[in-house]
Structure 1
Amino acid sequence: MKRNKPPTSRRTEIQHLYECYASGQTTLPACDLVRFLHEKQMELTANQETAESLIDRYEIEETARESRSMTFEGFLRYMESKDCCVFDQTHRSVYQDMDQPLSSYFISTSHNTYLTGDQLVGKSHLYAYVCALRKGCRCLEIDCWDGSDMEPVVYHGHTLTTKILFRDVIKTVEQHAFEVSAFPVILSLENHCSQEQQEVMAQYLISILGEKLLRAPLDHLTTGDLPSPNKEVVVAKALSDLVIYTKSVKFFSFSYSKDNQTCYENTSTAEKKAHKLARASGADFVRHNQKFLSRIYPAAFRTSSSNYNPQEFWNVGSQLVALNFQSLGLPMDLNNGRFQDNGGCGYTLKPAVLMSSETSFDPGCNQHSKATRLLLKVISGSNLPVPRSGKALDPFVRVEINGIASEPRKKNTHTVKNNSLTPHWDTDMNFNISVPELCLVRFCVRDQTGFLSSDFVGQYTLPFSSLKKGYRWVPLLSRDGCSLDPASLFVFVWYS
């Protein structure tokens, strides 16, 4: 009778790595730990001091610590620590140059920020602003209408969405604007108010925000460029006397903008028109966004508050790619993935390919520089969350590449039957990535429920530029972006 092979746990896989480098010794000496860091983890700057600091951090057995070596248990603690996360931990802090003009950054941007549901009968709520700000959002939308008793209200006009007071929105912004990020918040005011209530709005902005409100140009503005984000301020995009840098203007054409638009003016464009511009004039769109801010917002037909894929508009350098933060799924996973970079501050520096004045970049053109080859080995999973039914999953992993349109989109592992605890795939995947500095990598675990059907289990998205080489674990997040710890994947990453 054939016996079933026992499932391989991550612990077993890590033990195999440990034994390869310990070479029969009872512990792993610091010099062999350095060899492992160089050969497998591609930590090429690691030295004896690096290894000894890891021993001090993760080894608790006193004899091993004294001999500057690591037991298997210490090695396991290290391999399951943040030092071995697939996301580069140095990117958890603000590390990018924050002294460039605002047009040089992608800026986390919310559409109809006040809504918690759809755009016809959904609720407006102050907590929606709190949630967006706590996710690092730096551009909030406030749709303003005349209210009773000279109190402007915020809601989706001409619909049955509920109303909240403008003054309460501004109080909420004042309280939470800089909780997770010290960088500027832009208020995108869609103004439908009478002159009288506009004056009320202006007074609330001034009295509630106080010194946090930018009311005059910054002193160092001498180059004809937008200021850098290195200032803890709130910037209003409406009410003429309070508009300093982000006055909204109508878009006519790229040539018109070049000849007539000033640096402190920005355009707002619906996704359908922006899509046509990106396809027909990608290089012109990129050049436009080197100097001016452009905001892209979801089409009017998205009454359920669904989202478009933001990657297309990041590819042409649009800074303010607005999404419905309350709507979960791939677009928000990509947004959260992109903006976890640079310390989660809501600003990430656009790559050089989008900012060079010497070369012309068109994301729709296949003639890009030599591709980067990405090898991913999806090895195993651990502690995957089971559905409410309690039935074990039939999991598989889908790896998706989100970059320029010509790149391969996704590849799947095989399905492992009836194993939520320790599924093992050991599947190699190869991708050729034309413009890695624009690319996002998404790991998605799914439960095979039928021949062509599957359910979402968990995902994790990160910029290619934050992807660490070597043996790494991938934390998994729920549909609403919350940690599913201890659920994770174990992978090997290599690229050239």
Structure 2
Amino acid sequence: MTWAESFLNPISHTWFLNIIQDDFMGGKINLENTIELLKKFQLPFDRAHVKHVFKKTVDKRKEHMINTEDFRAIYRTIVHRPEFLELFRAYSPNSKTVAHDQVVEFLKKEQYETENCETTALEIILKYEPIEEVRKRRQLSFEGFIRYMDSEECSVFKSHHRTVYQDMNYPLCDYFISSSHNTYLISDQLIGPSHLWGYTSALLKGCRCLEIDCWDGSNNEPIVHHGHTLTSKIPFRSVIQVIEKYAFEVSDYPVVLSLENHCSPQQQEVMADYLESILGEKLLTSTIGEARVTQLPSPEALKFKILIKNKKVGTLEESMLRRDLDSHGEKGEVSESENVSDDEDDSDDTAPLWPQHDSSKRKGEGTSSAPPRKKAKMKKVKIALALSDLVIYTKSEKFVSFEHSQNHQKCYENNSIGEVRARKFVKHSAREFVLHTSKFITRIYPKGTRATSSNYNPQEFWNVGCQMVALNFQTPGIQMELQNGKFLDNGGSGYILKPEFLRNQGATFTPHNVGRYSRSMSLSIKLISGHQLPPSSLSKTNKADPLVQIEIYGVPEDQTKKRSSVIKSNALSPRWDETFSFTIQVPELALIRFCVEDEISLVSNEFLGQYTLPVLSLNKGYRNVPLLAKDGTNLKPASLFVHIWYY
């Protein structure tokens, strides 16, 4: 593509020269000046790519300086993408500008926009056209077109899914809830640090269920750490202060504090006092409406509220009566319970450094179907009523069997099940599992042998409707990419309304037998190109041999992966023009992951970037796919350019 082809409009040429003329008063500029000048064009660029193109330009010269012609060439290489020019020309009769009516046609025909296209087209021109003369004529130059195609408006992720658009008035159990495991840990499960940043970062990622392991500390101050390990300790009080500060920074919807409580009654009273005094009005201390609870309230009804998930003495109605009577004298009373811990399995599924006397609780973990397990012997542990009475809609209840829950469990009683046992239920009792989660909030947590804080695949538990699928947020990998991608939806609120077939107690859906609930989707993805991809860490020339994996995660029948060809030695602007087709049986549960890798050898690839989102959040048309690093940070301007179509 020549300079004349890129800047076909003399007005564009004049605009460009006006921007750069002051910087070339001395005739030539160096690399740093080049980078500063590129910033004036207000288009994102990767410094490493610019540096590489600059060095290529001045190669074999005595001085590492460039003139105006050199800068134009660098600008074209970084900014003027041939695939965009091809689209632009298709809607520009004179190959110079696109008129308002042609922008409208582009939106309808290529981007599948159906509403307010005239208004949207005008807004695009006014927002993205940088040349005033062209903007006044209500037209779009190639410069404006580039800026629009690079914008979030052309993102693969539907714009209205960036806000809360789902009905938030269903009961809590009808939602997937973003959940963290051992939130206080920022490294491994055995010797790593406990840190307040674990809570801050989880909340800033939209997490709505945080786990707090509470133990007796010195001077009657409860502490938080991983019991029977060498992880460091942090004060319970500090944890609650951080939660109070960041609870609703990202989402207005309720936060659940899942307490794994090993404290004495005396320190439980201290915990209760801190919860009430620090959280204040944010802490939910009574039922909404009538004391007799027959259905969980909705996320909407619980906005800006923090709920305590813990064991509870007696019924919810009894604790409400106590609070109504304002029986201050009872504040110091205690009652006995079989196990004070929130998760009867969780406290023993932690791979402690030293074996504990009560590890017999784990007997029967391997049972895979509904019949009750043989009840293990457990000592009675005392619970302070002051803490018990703060447990309202999230009472932790030991899971016995699906049959037992259907016959005895109350709507506000929640279960926690270890991943190993839960996986066997998915395999052998999926129908019962789906029925259970349609009624009761169910939390899944990692097995104790995951000492390095590795994660399981959350998809298999979302497939059966488990609301709180708790992961180690500190550990990057595909599992957290699925978690982050799923909860991008619904404005990143941390609450996703489950599909109707996972909420309807009369449905017969299972992941292995989707039956009449299957409304399959035919999906076509044309992988066109990449732009400013992260270069290989092994490359000295700022290059990579990129390939793209497109993966579908969902019910077993939908699990699939397709791979592009490899483009040799091009991280700046690889071009594929390859089309991939998928048939997705249950799109409501499916996630799609775009993963860019550098082919190091025939058997080994290096991760360069990825982006994961719900299949139903895909935009149709020509779209850019922003790439994220392993830790979830944006690699802008690194992206893929694709065309999406489905029906």
TM-score (norm 2): 0.74
- Cα deviation digits, residues 30-68 of structure 1 (max 9, x gap): 222222111211112243222122212212333433333
Aligned partner of 2:449 in structure 1 is 301
Please state how far the C-alpha of 1:353 moved relative to its aligned partner: 2.7
2:501 aligned with 1:429:
no
| 1:252 partnered with 2:252 | no
Q: 1:99 to 1:474 in 2, by over 3 A?
A: same
Alpha carbon RMSD of aligned pairs, Å?
Answer: 1.8
Residue 400 (structure 1) aligns with: 551
Shift of 1:286: 1.7
- Residue 237 (structure 1) aligned with residue 385 (structure 2): no
- Pick the aligned partner of 1:443 from 591, 594, 597: 594
Higher mean Cα deviation, 271-280 or 385-394? 385-394
Distance 1:116 1:171 in 2: 18
- Structure number with higher strand proportion: 1
List aligned pairs for 1:95-494, cutoff 5 A.
95-219=165-289, 224-230=294-300, 231-238=303-310, 239-365=387-513, 367=515, 369-391=518-540, 392-494=543-645
Q: Which has the higher helix share?
A: 2
45, 53, 61: which is aligned to 2:123? 53
* Cα separation, 1, equivalents of 2:594 and 2:290: 43
Cα displacement (A) at 1:343: 1.2
The residue type paired with residue 607 of structure 2 is F
Query: In the alignment, residue 204 of structure 2 is paired with which amino acid?
Result: R
Partner of 1:3: none
Cα distance change, pair 405–427 in 1 and its aligned pair in 2 (3 A): same
Q: Using the alignment, how far apart are the partners of 1:402 and 1:10 within structure 2?
A: 35
CA separation in 2, counterparts of 1:442 and 1:227? Answer: 34
Cα distance in 2 between the residues matched to 1:114 and 1:447: 35
2:380 matched residue in structure 1: none
- Distance in 1 separating the partners of 2:447 and 2:123: 53
Shift in Å, 1:23: 3.2
Answer whether contact 2:194 2:232 (CA < 8 A) is retained: yes
> Bigger radius of gyration, 1 or 2?
2
Residue 214 of structure 1 contacts residue 234 of structure 1 at CA under 8 Å; is this kept in 2? yes
Encode CA deviations 1:457-486: one digit per residue, 9 max, x unaligned. Answer: 111111111110111001111100001111
In the TM superposition, residue 283 of structure 1 has moved relative to its aligned partner by 2.4
Name the CA distance, whole Å, in 2 between partners of 1:468 and 1:486.
Answer: 19
Q: Which range moved further: 175-184 or 368-377?
A: 368-377
- Single out whichever of 7-16 and 233-242 deviates more from structure 2: 7-16
User: Residues 280, 94 of structure 1: CA spacing in aligned structure 2 closer, same or farther, 3 A cutoff?
Assistant: same
Gaps of 5+ in 2: 1-75, 311-386
8 A Cα contact 1:401 1:410, kept in partner: yes
Q: Is the 8 A contact 1:29 1:69 kept in 2?
A: yes
Check conservation: 1:380, 1:425, Cα contact below 8 A. Answer: yes
Q: Does structure 1 conserve the Cα–Cα contact (< 8 Å) formed by 2:514 and 2:586?
A: no
Q: Which amino acid aligns with 1:13?
A: E
Q: Residue 34 of structure 1 aligns to a residue in which SS?
A: helix
2:45 matched residue in structure 1 = none
Do 2:558 and 2:590's aligned partners in 1 also have CA atoms closer than 8 Å? no
Cα pair 1:384 1:420 within 8 Å, conserved: yes
Q: Deviations over 1:193-234 (max 9, x none)?
A: 111111111111111111111111112777721111122111
Q: Give the distance between the partners of 1:241 and 1:359, measured in 2 at CA.
A: 35
Which amino acid in 1 is paired with 2:456?
Answer: Y
Verify: 1:30 aligned to 2:179, yes or no.
no
Query: What's 2:364 paired with?
Result: none
Deviation, structure 1 residue 85: 0.5
Q: What amino acid sits opposite 1:380 in the alignment?
A: S
- SS in structure 1 opposite 2:81? helix
8 Å CA contact retained: 1:93, 1:342? yes
Query: 1:246 Cα shift?
Result: 0.5
1:89 Cα shift? 1.5
Work out the CA distance in 2 between the residues paired with 1:298 and 1:14. 46
What is the one-letter code of the residue matched to 2:489?
A: D
Q: Deviations over 1:129-166 (max 9, x none)?
A: 11111111110000111111111111111111111111
- Please show how residues 70-81 of structure 1 align to structure 2 within 5 Å: 70-81=140-151
Q: Residue 267 of structure 1 aligns to which amino acid in structure 2?
A: N
Aligned-partner SS, 1:109: coil
Stretches of structure 1 that go unaligned for 5 or more consecutive residues are 1-5
**Residues 269 and 296 in structure 1, CA contact (< 8 A), matched pair in contact too:** yes
Number of residues of Structure 1 aligned to a counterpart in Structure 2: 491
State the 1:370 CA deviation. 4.3
Q: Per-residue deviation at 1:274?
A: 0.9
Local SS of the residue matching 2:558: coil
SS in 2 for 1:38: helix
* Aligned partner letter, 2:425: L
Q: Distance in 2 between the 1:39 and 1:397 partners?
A: 27
Question: Which letter maps to 1:75?
Answer: F
8 Å CA contact 1:28, 1:70 repeated in 2: yes
Distance in 2 separating the partners of 1:168 and 1:9: 48
1:357, distance to aligned residue in structure 2 (A): 4.0
Name which of structure 1's ranges 338-347 and 385-394 shifts more when overlaid on structure 2.
Answer: 385-394
Alpha-carbon distance in 2 for matches of 1:289, 1:394: 45
With normalisation by structure 1, the TM-score equals 0.95
Q: Is the 8 A contact 1:111 1:324 kept in 2?
A: yes
- Pick closer, same or farther for the CA change 1:221–1:412 going to 2, 3 Å: farther
- Contact 2:558 2:586 (C-alpha < 8 Å) held by counterparts: no
Q: 103-112 or 48-57, which moves further after superposition? A: 48-57
Measured in 2, the distance between the counterparts of 1:450 and 1:35 equals 45
Distance 2:160 2:240 in 1: 34
Q: Does structure 1 retain, via aligned residues, the 8 Å contact 2:438–2:503?
A: yes
The question of whether the paired residues in 1 share the 8 Å contact of 2:193 and 2:231 is answered with yes
